[in-house]
Chain A
Amino acid sequence: MKIDRRSFLAFVLGGAAGTALSPLPWKLTDDISIWTQNWPWTPVPPKGETTYVASTCTLCPGGCGIRVRRVEDRVVKIEGRKDHPVNRGGICPLGAAGAQLLYSPWRVRQPLKKVDGRFVPVSWEQAIGEIAGELRELREAGSPEAVAWIADTDRGTTAELIRRFLTVYGSPNFIRTPSAQDAWETALYLTQGQRATAGFDLERTSFLLSLGSGLLEGWGTPPFVFRACGAVRDRNGRFVQVEPRLSKTAAQADQWLPILPGSEATLAFGLIHVILKEGLERKPFVASRTTGLEDLRRNALREAYAPEAVAQATGLEAKTVVELARAFAAAERPLAVCGRGAGRVPGGLQETLAVHFLNALVGSVNVEGGVIAVPEPEYIRWPEPEMDAVASKGMQTPRVDGAGSDRFPLARYLLNRLPEALLEGEKPAVRVLFVSGGNPLYSLPDSERTAKAFARVPLLVSFSSFFDETAAAAHYVLPAPTYLERWEDVPGAAGFPKPVIGLARPVVAPRLATMPTGDVVIRLARRLGGTLRAAFPWESHEVCLRQTFAASWEPLRRNGFAIDESFKPQPFETASRRFEFGNADLKRLAEFRPLPAPGDPGVFKLTLVPYDSLRLTAALGTPPFLVKALESEILWKNDIRVEIHPQTARDLGLADGADARLVTPRGEARVKLYLTEGIRPGLIGMARGLGREAHDRFLAGRGVSTNRLLAAVEDPSGFEAGWGIRARLERA
């Protein structure tokens, strides 16, 4: 018997028949299909008990109430709290993606110190000890004012601890990051004498006029604003969006007025002109509750604000301007809002004032459906700290950013002026710079200059929970726990018309070796001793929080928020007890002139205008869920797409999707084109929030940051007021 080809084939056939008669193929097919439907590497939340924790979101100044779903001690979902007065169950995409920030593998895991250009892990003891040593030296050298601290809010116990620390140490340089609230607060103070934030009773207005505000793109408290915009229409009201491009907000509005960018204030004055000329103002309100209308009359009734001139300046038609003014004045409860895009840039003071005057003329100030001055919360009443001679002397020195100086008497904080101050002189004015919010190295315009300025600071300390651009450039990173791992009082909700205090609480135990920034402040003070030690009697931030709220702590802890439902707008606090269209302070303001986009229009034929998207964050890193959800009109693979009008593209000989070189006086970048009729010809629309150098691999290295291409522009009051820059597009 020989084993040949035939016997081999017979063996194989027998094998095949036997295999078919065995469970092997069927069982294997079944197992493989189960395996492919349940990839073992796909993360699946653990099974276990589901619990919900009520807390407050702090990812933006919105202050929404959130309901965090946990399985055992893992956060699996974040929802809006249905019983919360601000968001009433709503949540924005960023808030919903918050769990990805908590579990991000790119969080800073422990305190880090930069040694020879590389970060090495150090203990909290060592990091705080070394920084306290530097602070002691600086103080002993008699220049405590060379310390500055950048924070993203000036309210709440953490901000107050920081301010108290700086005061007792001897530095006036507490700097809040800029936002549209800067200009609104100043406008309220100038006209109403109230130190307050601007709330907008959007839910009760019947004519909503938005001068460039991205109401559906992150402006104010998104879920509140979303609902309110819908409510305007439900009541047969009117919603007009004035903006150079067809944003999501413009697309949802009843009317879109594609204005020339930067001319919004001119339009506001133009509307005032028509209202005053035709006598359409709310006479009872103006007569009984305002004063100084003559000043406004003198200013607004000039030829420069006549409909034809305004049409020329804004690119709108004269009859549109007149019609808009009449309809606005005739509406039952009209309301005008401003603050470009998501409201992260203050914009010019004159622009905000013009909008505020417009509201006052139609009686929509401190009334239902109007702009409401929401008083700053006053629950923090700590005893005045004792200050030594060094501190008193230090506090007398002018602020490093020039806020409150003779040149910029109205501004309280001017972070946008800090880079210039740092670049001046042989030695920078700031020797130690703490950054506990805002990621200025990314979020300030003119990134190159900002980086150069910050690089001059001998000791830069970041408190970021994530590796952001500022943390990457810092000498020490002292990571704070995320908002889901710490206690935090959250006073106020951006743009919400009532005073509210939210409480963020630890939903899970801190995952990493982090420390709340308030605790770091207390420890630094204890290390420094003397008056500093005495000014901080609290053991920790949490203890401070409990003692600050005292009797109201338990109700706050139980409920998660406190709101004054019976709140009624307060009377005006000006000398005249009226709304002042004109007064001595207003007279001192420089006359309004529209701020042009920087750059030579001869060389740069187009204008670059940045815009905000709800799916991209400015300071904070955008979580992967949102990066994944970015439209292909914004991000194409790893390239950012810029919007231009087809006519502009034709003039340049460029096609949709083509690669191009975008050049501005500040820098250049490779971009892809997106042709759309939803933008005025001559403009280039570019989304803010991309072009990250730090952060995680889902976000970093994609697209270009608008701030690399933009220049800092300030209005005469010192506020950052840039809305664009001259630019050109070249074939790549």
Chain B
Amino acid sequence: MEEPKSSAPSSRSESEKAEKGDGAGAAIILFFILGLAASLLVGWIAFPALLYSEKRQPVDFNHALHNEIVDHGCASCHFFREDGSFSGAPKLAQCVECHREANSDDPEEIRFVEEYVKPGREVPWLVYARQPDCVFFSHAAHVRMGGIDCAVCHGPMGESTSLRPYQENRITGYSRDIWGWNIAGIKRNSWDRMKMDDCAECHAQARVPGGSVQTQKDGCFVCHK
């Protein structure tokens, strides 16, 4: 008497289980896929969009146009100082050498003269390639001693007719150009990324001295002083 009593409910429950099990399995897979899809969307699209804030350069500078006029290419404005340090983005004083007055009808040039040259205000250029403060980088070592072309790291900047937007990382405050515009970190050109691995890649190829005496590995202190 007792056995059927006990078996009946159990068989019922098993069949219920089986029924439920099919539905539950589908639901589990569905929710897994939902979770996967949502997080992939967040990780690949929402996160990069949230991580960077986009800024425009204060003046839309035309590199190509200037490059045609000047005599010494990039070094006409981005030059080495007497002590070997690199000047980086030009100061207003250099611009003023030619742009005391507007030289054309270009509204951007006229705005530049009105807003910066006349009041003597420095242009707050946003530097795409600025490395974090913990990195020591010497242009002299790379350009003068290493003979590396500007474009190897900076790309064909000199051919651009307009300054692209500057994306600032909201966490670090540095430019997106350091990580690279591809959020996955994939690069096609040498100038696509400026992370430590990219520096190290070239340093390893060029067998840059300065490695650790103890470990015979690349030296941290070459760049992190």
**Which A residues are within 8 Å of any B CB, using their own CB?**
1-4, 6-8, 10-19, 21-24, 27-28, 30-32, 34-35, 37-38, 40, 44, 47, 49-50
Contact = CB atoms under 8 A, between A and B. Distances in A.
B85 interface: yes
Task: Sort A-B residue pairs by CB-CB distance and give the 5 closest, nearest first.
Answer: A22-B43, A14-B35, A18-B39, A14-B32, A15-B35
A398 B85 CA distance: 62
B195 to A, nearest CB: 8
A44 B130 CA distance: 14
A7 B51 CA distance: 30
Nearest to B85: A50
Contacts of A40: 173
Interface in B7-31: 23-24, 26-31
A35 B132 CA distance: 9
B54 to A, nearest CB: 17
B185 to A, nearest CB: 7
B172 A35 contact: yes
Contacts of B171: 28, 31-32, 34-35
Contacts of B40: 18, 21-22
B179 A49 contact: no
Contacts of B173: 35, 38, 40
Nearest to B195: A30
A169 B223 CA distance: 64
B179 to A, nearest CB: 7
A18 B172 contact: no
Contacts, number: 114
Contact of B43 (A2, A19, A34, A38): A19
A10 B26 CA distance: 11
**Chain A interface, >50% SS class:** helix
A34 B24 contact: no
B28 A18 contact: no
A39 to B, nearest CB: 9
Given A22-B47, A35-B171, A49-B81, A14 B179 contact: no
B40 to A, nearest CB: 4
Contacts of B27: 1-3, 6-7, 10
Contact of A50 (B32, B83, B172, B183): B83
Contact of B133 (A19, A31, A44): A44
B120 to A, nearest CB: 14
Interface string B85-104: 10110000000000000000
A11 B38 CA distance: 9
A313 B48 CA distance: 82
B42 interface: yes
B36 interface: yes
Contacts of A44: 133
B221 interface: no
Given A27-B179, A50-B85, A19 B39 contact: yes
A589 B161 CA distance: 89
Interface in B146-184: 169, 171-174, 179, 183-184
A225 to B, nearest CB: 33
A219 B40 CA distance: 70
B184 A15 contact: no
B38 A18 contact: yes
B141 to A, nearest CB: 17
A463 B105 CA distance: 55
A349 to B, nearest CB: 53
Contacts of B200: none
Contact of A49 (B28, B29, B87): B87
A16 B42 CA distance: 12
Contacts of B174: 34
A665 to B, nearest CB: 55
B51 to A, nearest CB: 7
A32 B173 CA distance: 11
B28 A22 contact: no
Contacts of B36: 14-15, 17-18, 21
Q: Which of B35, B85, B88 has the most CB of A within 10 A?
A: B35
13 contacts: A4-B24, A10-B29, A10-B31, A11-B35, A13-B35, A15-B36, A17-B39, A18-B40, A21-B43, A22-B42, A23-B184, A37-B132, A50-B81
B86 to A, nearest CB: 10
Given A6-B24, A14-B34, A27-B51, A22 B172 contact: no
Given A1-B23, A22-B40, A35-B172, A14 B33 contact: yes
Contacts of B132: 34, 37-38
Contacts of B26: 1
Contacts of B133: 38, 44
Interface in B95-145: 132-134
A10 B29 CA distance: 7
B137 to A, nearest CB: 11
Contacts of A4: 24
A120 B183 CA distance: 56
Contacts of B23: 1
Contacts of A11: 31-32, 34-35
Contacts of B179: 27, 30
A10 B43 contact: no
B127 to A, nearest CB: 9
A44 B47 CA distance: 30
A51 to B, nearest CB: 9
A3 B85 CA distance: 64
Contacts of A2: 27
Contact of A23 (B37, B47, B83): B47
Contacts of A32: 171
Nearest to A22: B43
B42 A13 contact: no
Contacts of B34: 11, 14
Q: Which of B40, B43, B44, B83 has the most CB of A within 10 A?
A: B43
Contacts of B38: 14-15, 18
Given A1-B26, A10-B30, 10 more contacts: A10-B28, A10-B32, A11-B31, A12-B35, A15-B39, A19-B39, A22-B39, A34-B174, A38-B134, A49-B87
Given A1-B27, A8-B31, A49 B85 contact: yes
A12 B35 CA distance: 6
A24 B184 CA distance: 9
A50 B26 CA distance: 68
Given A1-B23, A31-B171, A14 B39 contact: yes
Q: Which of B28, B33, B184 has the most CB of A within 10 A?
A: B28
Nearest to B83: A50
Nearest to B23: A1
Contacts of A13: 32, 35
A72 to B, nearest CB: 9
Contacts of A1: 23, 26-27
Contacts of A7: 24, 27-28, 30-31
